[in-house]
Chain A
Amino acid sequence: DQQVKQNSPSLSVQEGRISILNCDYTNSMFDYFLWYKKYPAEGPTFLISISSIKDKNEDGRFTVFLNKSAKHLSLHIVPSQPGDSAVYFCAASARRVNQGGKLIFGQGTELSVKP
């Protein structure tokens, strides 16, 4: 039972363009959503998060959008840079991570940004 799904295993975009990574979830109890970036041979690195009381959160080039009714979130990277090439994981939790929330991860989307 995959509660968090990233249906695109890979995405290729041109440098300078927008990258849009999508994530769907099925559990309506999820209230916190996070995006992580992972390079080979390293652990995931936190990028950005959003709670269910918001529909948008921005941090520099990264923006996460949440559509609760559709149980869908997306990560926008603008402009995309070659250094953004990595695997991106979407994760969800029913409680705040720092209060014992358990993260459920999607399968990941491998982003490749071409110069």
Chain B
Amino acid sequence: KAGVTQTPRYLIKTRGQQVTLSCSPISGHRSVSWYQQTPGQGLQFLFEYFSETQRNKGNFPGRFSGRQFSNSRSEMNVSTLELGDSALYLCASSKYGGGTDTQYFGPGTRLTVL
């Protein structure tokens, strides 16, 4: 079974631009969560989507948004990029209502904002 895939793996943007990251969950997984990892803050929860609806949200500004499609694939968008948005963005999927009690992570997208 294929794991969680994220594209692109690396991205370089400049301040003020916007960026869209993509995540394809494990087949059959309907829940997708996004996390930001920075050296100083560890992994911080951004939001979670289930059945195309945002179900949970972390403490991030409105510049961070996401969506989920009917095939469970998810995208995350960051508008008006700031230097502090440079981070590893991780996507994780889980099988709602069954399966093992964990989230499975993708390899992440490394975003660098110059």
A43 touching B90 by the CB < 8 A rule?
Answer: yes
Q: A104 interface residue, CB < 8 Å from B?
A: yes
- Provide the residues of chain B in CB contact with A96, threshold 8 Å: 101
- Provide the residues of chain B in CB contact with A46, threshold 8 Å: 100, 102-104
- Interface residue from A49, A99, A103 paired with B33 (Cβ < 8 Å): A103
Q: A114 interface residue, CB < 8 Å from B?
A: no
A44 touching B96 by the CB < 8 A rule?
Answer: no
What is the CA–CA distance of A99 and B94 in the complex, to the nearest angstrom? 9
Give the distance to chain B from A93, nearest Cβ to Cβ, in Å. Answer: 9
Number of interface residues of B (CB under 8 A): 31
**A60-115 interface with B by 8 A CB criterion:** 89, 91, 96-100, 102-108
Known: A43-B90, A43-B108, A44-B90. A97 touches B43 (CB 8 A): no
Interface membership of chain B positions 86-114, coded 1 if the CB is closer than 8 angstroms to chain A and 0 otherwise: 00001010111111111111111000000
Residue of A nearest to B40 (CB): A107
Give the interface size bracket for A toward B: 20 to 34
Known: A97-B94, A100-B31. A49 touches B45 (CB 8 A): no
- Provide the residues of chain B in CB contact with A44, threshold 8 Å: 43, 90, 105
- Provide the residues of chain A in CB contact with B48, threshold 8 Å: 100, 102
- Provide the residues of chain B in CB contact with A103, threshold 8 Å: 33, 35, 43, 45, 92, 103
**A38-57 interface with B by 8 A CB criterion:** 41-46, 49
Q: Can you list 21 pairs linking A and B with CB atoms under 8 Å apart?
A: A32-B101, A34-B101, A43-B4, A43-B90, A43-B108, A44-B105, A46-B104, A89-B42, A97-B102, A98-B31, A98-B94, A98-B98, A98-B99, A98-B101, A100-B31, A102-B48, A103-B33, A103-B45, A105-B45, A107-B42, A108-B43
Known: A34-B101, A43-B105. 14 other contacts (CB 8 A): A41-B107, A43-B90, A43-B92, A43-B107, A46-B102, A46-B103, A49-B102, A98-B96, A99-B96, A99-B97, A100-B56, A102-B48, A103-B45, A105-B45
